[in-house]
Amino acid sequence: MLSKKAKYAMLALVHLAKHQDDGPVLISKIAEEEHIPQKFLEAILLDLKKDGTLASKKGKGGGYYLIKSPDEVNMADVMRLFDGAIALLPCVTYKYYERCEECKDEETCSIRETFMKVRNQTVEILKACTLTQLMKSEG
């Protein structure tokens, strides 16, 4: 399952993408409209800032805004940022690779191939899901 963090991040990003021309958006505004606990959202937006997806302005008239192009921001990256690996087995991940301790021989591991397929398909779908796409499909 996707964590709440990742899900809230996605909703917040869509919100910010939609208001990209309105200047900085208040955390409180996003929290209210997207039904996200504000304090929790603060931490999430901070992570997205450190990641280079968002920027912020302090003080009056401040808030958060998108600094990447909406078609550069995809759900695979967001999920990796908050939930770590997308793959279902540590031995088929790209960025978070770990050998399975109980695995006799990785080359002949019976289930590995299937979970490799699952990962590839999932990443493909999530990569294609950019903020641009999300804005379109929401109308």
Please say whether the beta carbons of 134 and 18 come within 8 A. Answer: no
Which residue's CB is nearer to DNA, number 93 or number 130? Answer: 93
- Angle, helices 75-83/38-50, rounded to nearest 10 degrees: 110
Please say whether the beta carbons of 41 and 8 come within 8 A. Answer: yes
Which of 29, 49, 62, 118 is the binder for its own copies (CB under 8 A)? 118
Which of 17, 64, 74, 87 is the binder for DNA (CB under 7 A)? 64
Size of the site for DNA (CB under 7 A): 27
Q: Tell me the window of 61-69, 73-81, 109-117, 121-129 that interacts with DNA (CB under 7 A).
A: 61-69
Task: Provide, rounded to whole angstroms, the least separation between the CB of residue 12 and DNA.
Answer: 12
Please say whether the beta carbons of 13 and 7 come within 8 A. Answer: no
